[in-house]
Amino acid sequence: MRLVLLGPPGAGKGTQAERLAEDLGVPHISTGDLFRAHVEAGSELGREAQQFMDQGQLVPDRVVNRMVAERLGAQDTAPGFLLDGYPRTLAQGEVLEAELAGRGAPLQAVLRLVVPEEELVRRILARAEQEGRADDTEDVLRKRLAVYHEETEPLEAFYRQRGLLLDVDGIGSVDEITARARERLREVAEA
């Protein structure tokens, strides 16, 4: 299965992606995690990305696209992949589409986690206390939500037009949401 998980910051993409990827036997590819690993390792890519991440801004498309194309070239993606946090702009969506078309292996579904804004704010501020992520402060959070609306939301129509978009209600317990997502994926597998 070749999937994208779409949703605003705080929607629970990371948690759900990990579970679903394990179910499906495909790697969970989170661009946020890849960037955080680069920052931790002090690589040049990490230094370039960090200035954007700290402000809740998107890392430039060319940097992200290159990193993802490289990651998708690894052997472990033969059975598929679950992308989490990518694409985040229409331009990234177009590059991904071309990249996968070139491999003859297009996306099969885009799961969108739907969560109301006030719930997102509540969750991210709770995560800030637990994990201490540098970009989980209220100012940066507001910025990240604004960036989501402006840059990432247009991808919903992009994927809807292609008949790939599947909505998953992202309110409830982690288990309930996973069960709903599994149900949607079963529909895709059976179609």
List residues with catalytic annotation: 13, 88, 127, 133, 144
Q: Shortest approach of ligand AMP to residue 64 CB, angstroms?
A: 4
Taking CB under 6 A as the criterion, the residue among 1, 59, 109, 141 binding ligand AMP is 59
Q: Shortest approach of ligand AMP to residue 186 CB, angstroms?
A: 26
User: Which strand (E) or helix (H) includes residue 162?
Assistant: none
The C-alpha atoms of residue 106 and residue 159 are separated, in whole angstroms, by 12
Measured at the CA of 14, the angle between CA 166 and CA 188, to 5 degrees, comes to 25
Q: Shortest approach of ligand AMP to residue 38 CB, angstroms?
A: 10
Q: Which residue, 147 or 190, is less far from ligand AMP as judged by CB?
A: 147
The C-alpha atoms of residue 1 and residue 20 are separated, in whole angstroms, by 11
Q: Which of these segments, 72-80, 85-93, 111-119, 160-168, binds ligand AMP (CB under 6 A)?
A: 85-93
Residue nearest to ligand AMP according to CB distances in the complex: 32
The C-alpha atoms of residue 188 and residue 178 are separated, in whole angstroms, by 15
Q: Which residue, 119 or 183, is less far from ligand AMP as judged by CB?
A: 119
The C-alpha atoms of residue 182 and residue 47 are separated, in whole angstroms, by 37
Q: Shortest approach of ligand AMP to residue 156 CB, angstroms?
A: 15
User: Which strand (E) or helix (H) includes residue 25?
Assistant: none
User: Which strand (E) or helix (H) includes residue 75?
Assistant: none
Q: Would you mind telling me the total number of residues written for the chain in this entry?
A: 191
Q: Which two tokens stand for residue 75?
A: 């052997």
Q: Using the rule CB under 6 A, is 2 a contact of ligand AMP?
A: no
Q: Using the rule CB under 6 A, is 85 a contact of ligand AMP?
A: yes
Taking CB under 6 A as the criterion, the residue among 4, 26, 29, 53 binding ligand AMP is 53
Q: Which residue, 59 or 177, is less far from ligand AMP as judged by CB?
A: 59
168 vs 5, 106, 156, 181, CA distance in Å?
10, 21, 13, 6
Q: Which residues bind ligand AMP (CB under 6 A)?
A: 9, 31-32, 35, 52-53, 56-59, 64, 85-86, 88, 92, 135, 144
